[in-house]
A = this chain, B = another copy of it.
Amino acid sequence: MTTTNQTIYWTLTDEAPSLATCSLLPIVRAFTSKAEIDVKISDISLAGRVLSAFPEKLSEEQRVEDGLKFLGELTQDPNANIIKLPNISASIPQLKACIAELQTQGYDVPDYPEDPQTDTDADVQTRYSKILGSAVNPVLREGNSDRRAPGAVKAYAKKFPHSMGKWSKASQTHADYMRGGDFFSSEQSITMAEAGDVRIEFVDQAGNVEVKKELSLEKGEILDSMRMSCAALREFFEESLQDAKETGVMWSLHVKATMMKVSHPIVFGHAVTVFYKELFEQYGDLFEELGVNPNNGIGSVYDKIATLPTSKREEIEEAIHKCYEHRPKLAMVDSSKGITNLHVPSDVIVDASMPAMIRNGGKMWDANGQTADTKAVMPESTYARIYQEMINYCKTNGAFDPTTIGTVPNVGLMAKKAEEYGSHDKTYETQPGTMRVVAADGTVLMQHEVEKGDIWRACQTKDEPVRDWVKLAVTRARNSDTPAVFWLDYKRAHDAELIKKVETYLQDHDTDGLEIYIKTYNQAIRFSMDRMFRGKDTISVTGNVLRDYLTDLFPIIELGTSAKMLSIVPMLKGGGMYETGAGGSAPKHVQQVEEENHLRWDSLGEFLALAVSLEDLGLKGNKRAAVLAKTLDAATGKLLENNKSPSRKTGELDNRGSHFYLGMYWAQEVANQTEDAELAAEFKQLAEDLTSQESKIVAELAECQGTPAALDGYYHANRETVKKVMRPSASLNSALAK
């Protein structure tokens, strides 16, 4: 499939970004239409994906196209040009809420079967499993990742630094992780000398062999396997809780249940059943009967006991409260609502929560709305160590100073689902026996003894993405004249395989005069922090998970948010995907709109992504696109310079007002440029209209705020209703309509 040139696919996603799109797109189209560029919407929202999975259940007009499938195919097109906004990586509770909402709206989509009994149930569960968790990115990310803070954004952060909590040298905050029994300590890794099929097998204690999965591996493909011990995990949680209690620090759990959608909910579940040990001992049978699933958090208990007689419910609630007596304080997600860290697995996402804690002087919120030092628990040690390294650094040197520090951009291995550790399709909660990987000829390639409840998983990394990743790293080091560090730990089996490839492929490039290092994670982050502290930049060249973590960690320290990063996926096939910032705090944004009609979402990421998307069209022959790219960049710089980003405070400039200013600056820039006089003339009117009506439009955009705004849905809001909410300025709408 090839598309015609000159189409930008703009993804319609969820929550705040989808609301923002409704306001921003008409402005964007006013510009792109003059350059013969079509900006097409492609729906990859959670609701859209649910609806497209069950066409047979829906009426003709209810059916929707499978936007994700379409875009997945598009990634193979050299002309692909996709602007990808943040979407929900759904946990089971989120998926269920979405289904329920769609049902209320009259869509006959089936319930999510927790415990499928029939073939139909199983089929439904299979379809839903493709929607759960990090389902979008693996399909679209057909290239490696290039993320950096644009110059204008870094300059803005130096001029208008975000707040940084003070780090006390006496802070008790620390990262806590397993010292054995985890994935890190059991990892094995092989590289395929030739292409070949392998089987993942489980051998039970009686010697019966069950083939769990068959994989066709490419030549040069790396396959890892690893095990987390259930007993070691539960013992770790118990010790960690007791230690927190004794030392008086708050306890918080940091996992990524949405991305690691099979393994991390299990880990989360163990945290819940260890924390509330007596509760689950006392009411285990009843909970099983009620269908309580601790992997969905303590919230699952509250949900399931809601139907019990009041007296029984109160008895259980009392038992819950009794558990708190000998446990440490729990970090809160929402202290005003009493929502703890263990309530739902999707509420705390390690790559957002850890940087937030570090930015906040190592403190999280307790039940009284006070901040406190925290034991930040990340059971798996592989990546947890980098946070401890940064915590130690901040205790020693104080909080990083956004006005002086350097930047740590990232080149991340990501293409073809490389190191897709969340890869649920090769993750198993085991019975006692042996998990092993066997070659076609029966040779056992890797194996682990496993106990009941252990988590075993395998992970693939193809050779082509690695080769492309090394090339991208060298290119970025060269283009930005910045040292590049491969974060690879020779003590880790997978990384040891990767190091061999990196050392080989580096020889394909001219690295003369470049500083390129290979360092362990601890060495790498320390090296980067030492340089950052002295105002120097260092490219982090990392695997997929660290890419995910670091592109939140450093941006949040440097810029206050990862949403302001320029995030490019140069596709292996030649196209480009331009991602906009993370949506970590998006749910709170929607809530504020519903309550006070103020959207604090910052579309800066969209502005930056659109500019590089247009730049690419320019490079591919559309001269007007090049002009639009350049003027958009100038407009974005002006917007930052003049501080026209959304405020968090209702009544002040919000997302819509920021869009207006972008439109006004952009129109002014286009009207004033001389490269394309005809285009300048075409935008004269719009520039004048917006400039002259600035105060009127801003007033209209402020007026609507302060009262609740119904969106008629959360996951599947009514687009017409949303349009009315998001485009309240008649003056702006009519100027654009001209």
By the criterion of a CB under 8 Å from any partner CB, how many residues of chain A are at the interface? 19
B residues less than 8 Å from A169 (CB atoms)? 174, 176, 243, 247, 375
* A737 at interface, CB cutoff 8 A: no
- With CB as the reference atom, state the residue of chain B lying closest to A247: B170
B residues less than 8 Å from A168 (CB atoms)? 243, 247
Bound together, the chains give a CA A243 to CA B172 distance in angstroms of 14
* A327 at interface, CB cutoff 8 A: no
Q: How far is the CB of A629 from chain B (nearest CB, A)?
A: 42
Q: What string of 1s and 0s marks CB contacts (under 8 Å) between A138-173 and chain B?
A: 000000000000000000000000000000111110
* A392 at interface, CB cutoff 8 A: yes
Bound together, the chains give a CA A396 to CA B373 distance in angstroms of 16
Bound together, the chains give a CA A169 to CA B388 distance in angstroms of 10
Q: What string of 1s and 0s marks CB contacts (under 8 Å) between A228-247 and chain B?
A: 00000000000000011001
- With CB as the reference atom, state the residue of chain B lying closest to A527: B523
* A450 at interface, CB cutoff 8 A: no
* A249 at interface, CB cutoff 8 A: yes
B residues less than 8 Å from A249 (CB atoms)? 170
Q: Which of B172, B247, B396 sits near A388, CB closer than 8 Å?
A: B396
* Copies of this chain per assembly: 2
* A395 at interface, CB cutoff 8 A: yes
B residues less than 8 Å from A172 (CB atoms)? 170-172
Q: What string of 1s and 0s marks CB contacts (under 8 Å) between A386-420 and chain B?
A: 00100010011000000000000000000000000
Q: What string of 1s and 0s marks CB contacts (under 8 Å) between A424-464 and chain B?
A: 00000000000000000000000000000000000000000
Bound together, the chains give a CA A728 to CA B340 distance in angstroms of 70
Bound together, the chains give a CA A168 to CA B375 distance in angstroms of 11
Q: What string of 1s and 0s marks CB contacts (under 8 Å) between A243-282 and chain B?
A: 1100111000000000000000000000000000000000
Bound together, the chains give a CA A388 to CA B395 distance in angstroms of 10
Bound together, the chains give a CA A649 to CA B395 distance in angstroms of 40
Q: How far is the CB of A520 from chain B (nearest CB, A)?
A: 9
- With CB as the reference atom, state the residue of chain B lying closest to A171: B172
Q: How far is the CB of A181 from chain B (nearest CB, A)?
A: 16
Bound together, the chains give a CA A247 to CA B373 distance in angstroms of 12
Bound together, the chains give a CA A392 to CA B388 distance in angstroms of 9
Bound together, the chains give a CA A174 to CA B171 distance in angstroms of 9
Q: How far is the CB of A423 from chain B (nearest CB, A)?
A: 30
- With CB as the reference atom, state the residue of chain B lying closest to A392: B392
Q: How far is the CB of A525 from chain B (nearest CB, A)?
A: 12
B residues less than 8 Å from A171 (CB atoms)? 172
Q: Give the 3 A-B CB pairs with smallest separation, nearest first.
A: A170-B247, A392-B392, A170-B172
Q: List 10 A-B contacts (CB under 8 A).
A: A168-B247, A169-B176, A169-B243, A169-B247, A170-B249, A170-B373, A172-B172, A392-B392, A392-B396, A526-B526
